[in-house]
Amino acid sequence: MTAVVTGAGSGVGAATARALAQQGWRVALVGRRRELLESVAASLPAALVVPCDIGDAAQVGAMGARVLGEFGSVDVLVNSAGTNVPARALAVLQPDDYHAMMNTNLHGAYYCTQAFLPAMRARGSGTIVNIISDAGKIANTKAGAGYAMSKFGLAGLTQAINAEERAHGIRACGIFPGDIDTPILVHRPTPPDAAARAQMLQPEDIAACVLLAIQLPPRAIIEELTIRPR
C-alpha cells in the first residue's frame, strides 16, 4: 500500500504520514522544506522524501514522476498542505498573499491530483483525501477571505473528482476540520495562547479521519466529513 502526503513536514500532514506508516503503508512525504520532511521520515519505515513546491506545476510533475518511479503505483493521495497570512481581511489582503494562498491551498491540490489521476485510472482504483476546513463550508472573519475562497475551491475539486472519476474506481473525501493546533496558527493576526490550543483538535484527530476514509471498502465513499472540537 502506497500513499503520497503533501504538507508532510508538520501538522496534519506529518500526523497523517505517521498514522499511515504505523498501518504498514509506504509513504511519500511532500513539502517545501527538506529538513522538516527528513525529520518526519527519520521515525518512519520506507518513507520517501520528495521536496516540492506544490504551487509550481513543473515541480509537481517531476515529483509525481519520481514517486511513481519509486512506488510503481499510488493507492492514496492526501492533499494536506495549507497556508494562511496574518493580513487576511478583505480590507488588507494583498495580491501576493492572495495568490500564495491559492497556489498552496487550491492550485497545489489540483496539480497533485492531476499528477496521480492517470495512474489511478489505469489501475481502476485510488482514494484522494483533501484536508479542507470548516471555512470551506461557511466563510468567517477568523479564516479570512482568501483562505475561505481557496477552501471552497478545494471542496469543489473534491466534488468534481467524485462526479467524474467514480466510474474509474476513484473516490475522494473532503475533510472539514474546525480549529486544529498546528503551526499555521502563528499566522493568525492574534495567535491563540496555550490554553486555547489545548481546546482545539489535534493533528492526530484529523489523521484518524483520513484512515477512516481510506480504509472503507472500495464500494463506499465518505464524500464529506466535518469534525470540530467538542
Q: Which of 216, 140, 135, 229 lies closest to 173 in space, CA to CA?
A: 216
Residue the block writes with cell 463550508? 137
d(CA 50, CA 32): 9
Residues near 204 by beta carbon (within 8 Å), at least 6 away in sequence: 15, 19
Which of 98, 110, 111, 147 is flagged as catalytic? 147
CA 56 – CA 48 distance, rounded (Å): 20
| Side-chain half-sphere CA neighbours of 14 within 13 A | 18
Q: Which residue, chain included where needed, has cell 521536496?
A: 51
Question: Which grid cell is 22?
Answer: 504505523
Reply yes or no on whether 111 is catalytic: no
CA neighbor of 143 nearest in space, from 176, 175, 110: 176
CB-side neighbour CA atoms (13 Å) of 149: 15
Q: What is the DSSP letter of 180?
A: B
d(CA 146, CA 216) in angstroms, rounded, equals 33
Half-sphere exposure of 188 (CA within 13 A, CB side): 16
Q: Which residues are catalytic?
A: 147
